[in-house]
Amino acid sequence: MSDALNLPAEARERAGKGASRALRRDGRVPAVIYGGKEEPTMIHVEAKELVRQLGTGHFMNSIVMIELGGKSVRTLPKDVAFHPVTDRPTHVDFLRLSKDAKVEVNVPVVFSNEEKSPGLKKGGVLNIVRHELDLICEADKIPSEIVIDVTGKDVGDSIHISEVTLPAGSESAITDRDYTIATLVAPSALKKAEGDTSTAAAADEVPASEQGGEEEEEATEE
C-alpha cells in the first residue's frame, strides 16, 4: 500500500471564480473535501506542496491526511483539474473517508519475471492493453501497484483479469467480463519475415507452364 501523504490546508471562506483566481495568484490551489455524510468543506492548499505530491506518481491512489485547523481529515483524491496551457493544478476534489470505507481506484500494473517468458526471450513483445486496473479496495488497504508474473507466457498468450491474484481487501470493479490486460505478440520484424516467406512460397507454387509462358511466346514470335 502507498504510504499516507500529509497535506496542510486552510479553510476557504469565499467561493467563486474571482476568489479562486486570487488564491492561485498567491500560490494556493482551491480544493474541496466532500462525502462521509458531512457538508462539503472548502479549503486551499499550497501549490508547490501539491505539485510535489503529484510528482510521487501515486497521489491519486494514496490516502491523504489533510491537516486543517489542528485536525486531520482522512481523504482520497478523486479529481485534479489542470490549466490547459501551463499544466499547473487549478482545483482538487478530495473524498472524505470513514475507517471502514471502500473506494474505487485505478491501480498501476507492473510485470515481473520477463526473463522467464519464452515468448519474450524469443523476441516477442508484451502488448499492454491496460496500464491500470479499476479496483474496489478497502480504504486502508489500497495497493500502490499490482504485480503480474509473466513466467511461462509465450507468443499468442493473453493475460486476463481472472488470472491475477489481487491483494486482500481488493476486488475488480469490472465484473461483467474477463477483460484482457496484456498480450504477447510477435515483433513486427518477425511478422514481416513471415510475410516474405509466404510470398516466396506462393511464387514457388506457380505451375512451371505459367512461369515459362513468356519464354515460349518469345520463341514463337522469333
| 93-109 tens-digit pLDDT | 999 998 778 888 899 99
Q: What is the pLDDT of residues 111-127, one digit of tens each?
A: 999 999 999 998 999 99
Cα(9)–Cα(44) distance, integer angstroms? 6
Confirm if 5 and 64 have CB atoms less than 8 A apart. Answer: yes
- Stronger pLDDT, 214 or 59, i.e. the higher one: 59
The pLDDT assigned to 194 comes to 53
Highest mean pLDDT among 55-69, 135-149, 163-177: 163-177
- SS3 state at 45: strand
pLDDT at residue 203 is higher than 60 = no
Contact, 103 vs 78, CB < 8 A?
no
CA distance 172 to 175: 7
The neighbouring-strand residues paired with 126 are: 184
What is the per-residue DSSP string for 23-43?
Answer: HHHTTEEEEEEEETTEEEEEE
149-192, pLDDT tens digit by residue?
A: 999 999 999 999 999 999 999 999 999 999 999 999 998 745 55
- As a whole-number percent, the residues of the chain with pLDDT over 90 amount to 61
Give the containing element (helix H, strand E) for 90. Answer: strand 89-96
User: Looking at the predicted structure, is the pLDDT value of residue 222 above 60?
Assistant: no
In the predicted model, is pLDDT for residue 140 greater than 90? Answer: no
Write out the three cell numbers for 76: 482520497
CA-CA distance, 94 to 111, in Å (whole number)? 30
What is the percent of the chain where pLDDT is above 70?
83
In this structure, what are the phi and psi dihedrals at residue 85, rounded to the nearest 5 degrees? -105, -50
Residue with cell 522467464: 116
- pLDDT of 81 reads 96
Q: Is 50 helix (H, G, I), strand (E, B) or coil?
A: helix
